[in-house]
A = this chain, B = another copy of it.
C-alpha cells in the first residue's frame, strides 16, 4: 500500500488490524488529520463549551454521540477505539501509559472529540511559497505557553499554547490572508512579531517541540496550537482521559480542500 495515496478508510483499516503503527504525517495526502480527546460524558458539556469559546486554539471538527465510536461528518465508518495508531491514557491528569488500541479502556459513557491540527494549513502555506521552517529543518514545530488566558468553561481553564513559524513580514501578511480561510484549523495568527508581548521569555527555548532558525529579516508568527485543549483538559484532572499519542493522528474522511 502506498501510504501517501491510500484512502483514509484503507489507512484506518490497516491501523485497526495492527499492520500500521507509524506516525501519520504524510499519509492519505489531502485528507484532514485530527487531534483526539476522549472523555467521560460528565466532562463533555464543559469541554464542548471550551472548544466553542476558544475556536482559534481548540478548533472542534467533530464530536461523537455518547458511546459511539464513529463521527457523523469526519468518520462515519471509523472506530475511534482502534483507528489511531497509538493512544495515551491519563488518570487524574497524570500520564499512565500508551496503548495500541483502547478496546479495553473505552466505555459506553465516553465522548470523543476531533480537533483540527495545523498539518492542513501548513500544506496551504507551502503551496503559496511561504517557508515552514520546522518542516525544512525536519523536526517538530516549536510551541510556547503564553500569558493569554483561554476563555474558561467549567473546570477547563488555563493559558493558551501557540506554535511558531518564522517568516518575513510580507509573508506573515500573506499567511494571515491564507489562514483566514482555515478557521477550522486555528485560523489567523494570535500574534506577529514580539514574543514578550504574549509572555514568551526566550524564543530559543520552546516549552514543547524544538527551536527553529529565525533568519535576519524574519519575524516570529504565532498560531493557536492543538496542545492547548489537551493541556487544559489535563489541568482539570479528569479521572480518565484518552488522547492520540503525538504524531499519531486520526485520519478523517474530509479533504483539506473542503475546509478552506
Contact = CB atoms under 8 A, between A and B. Distances in A.
Interface of A: 44-45, 48-49, 52-53, 60, 63, 65, 72-73, 151, 153-154, 183
A72 B151 contact: yes
Given A44-B45, A45-B44, A183-B183, A63 B72 contact: no
A72 B50 CA distance: 12
A108 to B, nearest CB: 15
A35 to B, nearest CB: 16
Given A65-B154, A183-B183, 5 more contacts: A48-B48, A48-B52, A52-B63, A53-B72, A65-B153
Contacts of A60: 52
Which 9 residue pairs are nearest across A and B when measured between Cβ atoms?
A45-B45, A48-B48, A44-B45, A72-B151, A49-B63, A48-B49, A52-B60, A45-B48, A52-B52
Nearest to A183: B183
Tell me the number of copies of this protein: 2
Nearest to A41: B45
A124 to B, nearest CB: 17
Contacts of A53: 72-73
17 contacts: A44-B45, A45-B45, A45-B48, A48-B48, A48-B49, A48-B52, A49-B63, A52-B52, A52-B60, A52-B63, A53-B72, A53-B73, A65-B153, A65-B154, A72-B151, A73-B151, A183-B183
A57 to B, nearest CB: 15
A193 to B, nearest CB: 23
A52 B62 CA distance: 9
A112 to B, nearest CB: 13
A228 to B, nearest CB: 17
A63 B73 CA distance: 24
A211 to B, nearest CB: 35
